[in-house]
Structure 1
Amino acid sequence: MNEQHILEQRTPQAGRLLIGLYPARYRDLHSEDIAATFAEATEGLNGRALLREHLDLASHALRLRLRIASTDPAGRMLAGTAPVALALAAGECLSGLLPSLTALATTSPQARPRLFAVEVVLVALVFIPWIVALLLTATGRWRRARPVAVLAALIDLGVALVVLGAYDRAPGALLRACALAALVLLAPPDLVDTGRRGRWEAVAVALATGVPLAVLMDSRVTLLGWSWYEVPAMVGFWALLVVSLLLLVHLSARRPDRLRALGIALGPAPWLLEYGIGATHWVVAYFVVLIGGAVAVGGVVHLVRRMLGAEPA
Structure 2
Amino acid sequence: MNEQHTVPQAGRRLIGLYPARYRELYGEDIAATFAEATEGLTGRALLRERLDLASHALRLRLRIASTDPAGRILAGAAPIALALGVGESLYDQAWYVEDVIRAVSRVATRPALAAGTLGAYAALVVPWIVALLCAAAGRWKPARRAAVLGLLAETAFWELILGHTWQMYGEFARIALLAALVLLAPADLVDTGRRGRWEVTGLAIGAGLPLAALAASDATVLGVFWQSVPALLPIWAFAVAAALLLAHLSARRPDLFRAAGIALGTVPWLLEQLPRRVPTVWAATAFVVLIGGAVALGGIIRLLRRAIDTEPAEPA
- Shared topology, TM-score over 0.5? yes
What is the identity, as a one-letter code, of the residue corresponding to 1:112?
R
Deviations 1:80-139 (A, max 9, x none): 000000010011111112442343134312121110100111111111112111211111
Q: Which residue of 2 aligns with 1:44?
A: 41
* Partner in structure 2 of residue 65 of structure 1: 61
CA distance in 2, matches of 1:2, 1:242: 54
Superposition deviation, residue 51 in structure 1: 5.5
How far apart are residue 162 of structure 1 and its match? 1.9
Relative to structure 1, the CA distance from residue 252 to residue 8 in structure 2 (aligned partners, 3 Å threshold; closer, same or farther) is same
Q: CA deviation at 1:225?
A: 4.8
Give the conservation status (yes or no) of the 8 Å contact 2:6–2:35.
no
**Structure 1 residues 139 and 231, CA gap change in structure 2 (3 angstroms):** same
**Aligned equivalent of 1:24:** 20
Amino acid at match of 1:186: L
| Displacement of 1:152 | 2.2
Relative to the length of structure 2, the TM-score reads: 0.87
C-alpha distance in 1, partners of 2:131/2:42?
A: 22
Q: Report the Cα distance in structure 2 between the residues aligned to 1:257 and 1:24, rounded to whole angstroms.
A: 32
CA distance in 1, matches of 2:267, 2:307: 35
2:285 matches 1:290: no
Equivalent residue of 2:246, what SS? helix
- Give the corresponding residue for 1:76: 72
- Determine the structure 1 residue equivalent to 2:115: 117
Change (3 A) 1:210 1:39: farther
Q: What secondary structure sits across from 2:163 in the alignment? A: coil
Alignment of 1:254-265 (within 5 A): 254-265=252-263
> 1 CA distance for matches of 2:228 and 2:209?
19
Question: Which structure has the larger Rg over C-alpha atoms?
Answer: 2
2:166·2:275 contact (CA, 8 Å) conserved in 1? no
C-alpha spacing 1:55/1:123, structure 2 compared with 1 (3 Å): farther
Specify every segment of 5 or more residues in structure 1 that has no aligned partner in the other structure, as ranges.
none
Q: Name the structure 2 match of 1:96.
A: 92
SS of alignment partner, residue 276 of structure 2: coil
Percentage of pairs with the same residue: 57
Q: Name the CA distance, whole Å, in 2 between partners of 1:46 and 1:212.
A: 45
CA distance in 1, matches of 2:311, 2:178: 38
Indicate conservation of the 8 Å contact 1:219/1:228, yes or no. no
TM-score with structure 1 length normalisation?
A: 0.88
- Alignment length, in residue pairs? 307
Give distance in 2, aligned partners of 1:74 and 1:125: 33
Distance 1:193 1:213, change over 3 A: same
What 5-or-longer segments of structure 2 have no aligned partner?
Answer: none
- 1:266 partner SS: helix
Q: CA RMSD in A?
A: 2.5
SS at match of 2:66: coil
Q: Is the 8 A contact 1:95 1:213 kept in 2?
A: yes
Using the TM superposition, give the Cα deviation of residue 212 of structure 1 relative to its aligned residue in structure 2, in angstroms.
Answer: 1.0
Task: Tell me the secondary structure at the aligned position of residue 163 of structure 1.
Answer: helix
